[in-house]
Amino acid sequence: MGTDNEGVESMILYRVLGGLDDTFKWKTTFQGDTQFYAFFDDKDYESASPGADKYQNGAFFLLKDFILGLNRYPLYIHAFGGGSEISLSKVGKTTKLSRGRYHYLLVICSLEEVEQLLPLAYFDAYNGQNVLITTEKDVSIINDPEDWLLFEFDFSIPSKDIYYLMIGHDAAGFDFVANFTEHPFQDREIIDD
């Protein structure tokens, strides 16, 4: 798959989702057919900058290979930001949600665009932004001024292949939820606790 073996060995899959209620909620009672949290136990985290060789290794390549292995386009990258500019704001569409709260949307239609734009999304997640990669252009957002911005995952259309990949915890892992079962990590063991 193109990842280095060191990075592959440092990933653990958990059944319990890492960002549920912190970065996303369920819109309906339908919660997909596949759910796991992939945790990257990468000891080499240093300050990250897009394009730096030491930044694009380990966890980044696991994430990239996973997304490429899903082979579903177009993809939509959604991100939240506050007052400061994030990397995705330079290439995506920006929408003001409320005072000091912004939603960024970027469309990816090809392998070449994944290669070019995924590093920006990963960099923003690494630096604490909520970044969602999904097959859905329109994702509901909970914008409660007294709480964090949250995405709502919706599987109410069973005939459509949908996935949500939420990069969280400063890019130390991602939640993957889909209404299909075939994915690049399906041969790996998922730990229950």
What are the tens digits of pLDDT across the range 57-115?
578 888 899 999 999 999 999 998 876 678 888 888 989 998 889 999 999 999 999 98
Cβ distance 102 to 94 under 8 Å? yes
The model's confidence at residue 45, banded by pLDDT at 50, 70 and 90, is: very low
- The confidence score (pLDDT) of residue 106 equals 95
Token output for 64: 């990239």
- The confidence score (pLDDT) of residue 1 equals 41
CA 110 remoteness from chain centre: 17
Cβ distance 86 to 50 under 8 Å? no
Write down the domain spans for the chain. Answer: 5-186
Token output for 108: 């990816």
Cβ-based burial of 61 (10 A; exposed 0-12, middle 13-18, buried ≥19):
middle
CA 139 remoteness from chain centre: 13
Q: What is the mean pLDDT of the chain?
A: 84
User: Which sign does the torsion angle of CA 119, 63, 77, 46 carry?
Assistant: negative
The model's confidence at residue 25, banded by pLDDT at 50, 70 and 90, is: very high
What are the tens digits of pLDDT across the range 139-160?
999 998 888 899 999 998 877 8
